[in-house]
Amino acid sequence: MARIDVDPGRGLFLLSTMRTSHVVRVTSTPEAEDALVGTYTGPLVDLDAAADIAALDVPDWRGFESTLDGREEYPVAGGVRFGQPALAVRHPDGVRSVEWRFAGHRVTDEAGGHTLELDFADAAYPLRVTVAYRVHDGGDVVERWANVTNDGDGAAIELHRFDSGALPLPRRDAYRLSHLFGRWGAETQLQRLPDVAVGETVLTSRRGTTSHQANPWFAIDDGTATETRGEVVSGALAWSGSWRIVVRRTENGRAQVLAGFGHEAFGPYRLAPGETLTTPVFAHLWTDGGFGGASREWHAYARSHVLPRADEVRPVLYNSWEATGFDLDQPSQERLAERAADLGAELFVVDDGWFGSRTSDHAGLGDWHVNRERFPDGLGPLIERVHELGMAFGIWVEPEMVNPDSELYRAHPDWVYHFQNRTRHEMRNQLVLNLARRDVADWIYEQLHRLLAENDIAFVKWDMNRPFTEAGWPGDADNPDRLWLDHVHNLYRVWDRLRTAHPDVAIESCSGGGARIDFGILARADQVWTSDNTDASDRLVIQHGFSQLYPARAMTCWVTDVPNFLTTRDVSLRYRFHAAMTGVLGIGGDLSQWAPTDLAQARELVAEYKRIRTVVQLGTQYRLSAPGTGLTAVQYTSADGAHTVLFAFLEGGRFGERPAPVRLAALDAAARYRVSGDGVEERELSGAALFGHGLPLDLRGDHASVLVHVERV
């Protein structure tokens, strides 16, 4: 059980999760009367031990330095501080400093969790800050966020930086940083930097979205952690717009991580009198179970506290985009639906091109009414046919965008982000709607609410195919830069309203592939589109990085045609299915061109996925061998340990040799297990043998794969 213990006399606040503790302290230092200092992150301790640790945490003072640098949980710009601030303000009289006093604390016990709020108030200005923490029963993630309030009645206070928090790291001789990087078609690639340099390492998105290029997650260890053992501290920011994570290693050997929304120079955000602004959640966890242990904690956290309907098993979907592109109509979609249903698909999704004058990517975006030339009687007859075939119906939308060649843009050219006297640059022939405007957000909601109310739609694929450029708001001269935050706030409001009005409709987050994947959007999305790159071999790399933080239950994976449109790689249908079966299975190929033998094999593989998807989507994941090692092996085990599924992929064989036996994880050494499936001899083996020796697999040649069942007898 999680708990929060407080020792007011010593200014100590102890946050305990199931297996870990995080200790913060309000204390006086030579540089500040009241500073919020982090003193411990690690295995469980009690208040007395926390007090001992605080007494031992005495920084060495050296000339031209501050004893606060690298130690604070919420550093402010002001006083004797020289590091990155979590809060930087400019008061109406030009003063650029915060000098706060501790004003008290509150502990709230809720169902399944506990919240600590620490209040601070500026000594001379009407600025109030609350730093908050939350711990949940049954897990080890600690959440934090901050509120800032302008208590004045006159002028606005400029916020030049307002982070969710700072995390001082345990003192170690070295700090290795793991993070995710990428680009379109190559998202969530894992990179480990051997030792963080003294100075500041910045992970960021300046694009208005989470971005293809980076993801708001990090993991730090001392360079010795492995997949299965070692101390790891990791963190994630729940925000779907521009963001920044700074890993700071100080000259005195300390390290600290700051995380928050907005990129550098995004503002200022002008906080109006009486206004309160709340940051997104910055969550962190400590584990001694290595990178795999950290991932499993994050997966459990996502399923328990982030994803809506997390225990709901997601259906097998078919998406028509790669089969028809923009050349679609009711008859072509019905023919595809018939073939998809025959394979065992449970959800049929019509992609781009069903609305307005959208016959290419040059026109129609923003006109969310059915194209009557393609669907003369609306979507109703197609939906009815899809239902007759035993499938639910889904649809693609891109509501935050507009083509200049559209009814919407001709009526409201002022509704896009732009600067006066500057070119409105297009990407993919489209511009970004100013969702920060409440009237635009309300309009988008009404369009989608009408679409869902008038049609029996069970699934919405919400896309966003370009980042912000010319991010200006000429109509808001007083606070134009709030658009970076308000766009996301209004996006969340629209999704929340839609989920309330249409509670049975599932939503998938897509942004040109994986440019909007984070815990902020996952709190509202049933799943996410991981990448536009559906090459099965590349996907193993992308999905490996994705799994560092996000669970398989949220990861949409498609089987598409070969040669792959992006890589031109040609691999077997079985290999493509196996790669896609490690998440939420989808099919996106042109079924009208599949050979009868391929259709028959696909039918068998879809049926096999349905038998194991509860284990894959809701089970515990173990990365046994990573891409780039020659063999990629991923294991999923059911909650009761009775059923394990193993996927293994050979990237390239040499001299006809088989890879080394794969050692399975988390099995009962004394139990017996029946092993069956591809590339193995069906037999019973002990858990000790499957872990100690490993399971030999008959894998040979390039891009071979197997799916193995391991069931407790």
| Residue 534: half-sphere exposure toward Cβ, Cα within 13 Å | 26
Quote the pLDDT of residue 57.
Answer: 86
Q: How far apart are CA 404 and CA 206, in angstroms?
A: 24
The per-residue pLDDT for range 189-202, each reduced to its tens digit, is: 999 999 999 999 99
Closest of 572, 586, 625 to residue 506, by C-alpha: 586
Q: With pLDDT > 90 as the criterion, what percentage of the chain qualifies?
A: 92
Quote the pLDDT of residue 273.
Answer: 97
Quote the pLDDT of residue 249.
Answer: 95
What type of residue sits at position 606? Answer: V
In sequence order, which residues have a C-beta less than 8 Å from that of residue 114 and are 6 or more positions away? 2, 3, 4, 107, 108, 134, 135
Quote the pLDDT of residue 476.
Answer: 80
Quote the pLDDT of residue 266.
Answer: 85
**Residues noted as catalytic:** 463, 532
What type of residue sits at position 694? Answer: G
- In 130-266, alpha helices (H): none
DSSP one-letter string for 351-391 = -SSSBTT-SSTTB-TT--SB-TTTSTT-SHHHHHHHHHTT-
Q: Sketch the domain layout of the chain as residue ranges.
A: 74-306, 317-614, 624-712
Look up the CATH number of domain 317-614.
Answer: 3.20.20.70
Quote the pLDDT of residue 425.
Answer: 96
Residue 656 has pLDDT above 80, yes or no: no
What confidence category does residue 478 fall into, taking pLDDT thresholds of 50, 70 and 90? confident
pTM equals 0.97
Closest of 319, 418, 320, 401 to residue 367, by C-alpha: 401
Quote the pLDDT of residue 265.
Answer: 82
Structure tokens, 57: 């945490």
What confidence category does residue 657 fall into, taking pLDDT thresholds of 50, 70 and 90? confident
What confidence category does residue 534 fall into, taking pLDDT thresholds of 50, 70 and 90? very high
Residue 475 has pLDDT above 90, yes or no: no
| Residue 32: half-sphere exposure toward Cβ, Cα within 13 Å | 29
Do 391 and 346 form a contact (C-beta atoms < 8 A)? yes
The per-residue pLDDT for range 335-359, each reduced to its tens digit, is: 999 999 999 999 999 999 999 999 9
The per-residue pLDDT for range 163-212, each reduced to its tens digit, is: 999 999 999 999 999 999 999 999 999 999 999 999 999 999 999 999 99
DSSP one-letter string for 429-448 = TBEEB-TTSHHHHHHHHHHH
What confidence category does residue 26 fall into, taking pLDDT thresholds of 50, 70 and 90? very high
Look up the CATH number of domain 624-712.
Answer: 2.60.40.1180
What average pLDDT does range 326-343 have in this prediction? 97
- The fold for domain 74-306 equals Beta-galactosidase; Chain A, domain 5 (2.70.98)
Residue 371 has pLDDT above 80, yes or no: yes
Residue 18 has pLDDT above 90, yes or no: yes
The per-residue pLDDT for range 245-276, each reduced to its tens digit, is: 999 999 888 999 999 999 988 889 999 999 99
Residue 609 has pLDDT above 90, yes or no: yes
What average pLDDT does range 466-484 have in this prediction? 91
The per-residue pLDDT for range 296-323, each reduced to its tens digit, is: 999 999 999 999 999 999 999 999 999 9
Residue 30 has pLDDT above 90, yes or no: no
What confidence category does residue 635 fall into, taking pLDDT thresholds of 50, 70 and 90? very high
Quote the pLDDT of residue 598.
Answer: 98
What average pLDDT does range 424-436 have in this prediction? 96
The per-residue pLDDT for range 697-711, each reduced to its tens digit, is: 999 888 999 999 999
Quote the pLDDT of residue 347.
Answer: 98
The per-residue pLDDT for range 89-143, each reduced to its tens digit, is: 999 999 999 999 999 999 999 999 999 999 999 999 999 999 999 999 999 999 9
DSSP 72: B
Quote the pLDDT of residue 138.
Answer: 95
63-72, 435-444, 617-626, 663-672: range with lowest mean pLDDT: 63-72
Quote the pLDDT of residue 63.
Answer: 80
Q: How far apart are CA 490 and CA 106, in angstroms?
A: 30
Closest of 642, 665, 659 to residue 712, by C-alpha: 642
Quote the pLDDT of residue 651.
Answer: 87
Work out the mean pLDDT of the chain and round it to a whole number.
96
Residue 477 has pLDDT above 80, yes or no: no
Q: How far apart are CA 326 and CA 396, in angstroms?
A: 12
Q: How far apart are CA 457 and CA 507, in angstroms?
A: 11
- For residue 636, CA distances in Å to 245, 296, 449, 581, 623 come to 31, 11, 38, 11, 9
In sequence order, which residues have a C-beta less than 8 Å from that of residue 410 and are 6 or more positions away? none
What confidence category does residue 655 fall into, taking pLDDT thresholds of 50, 70 and 90? confident
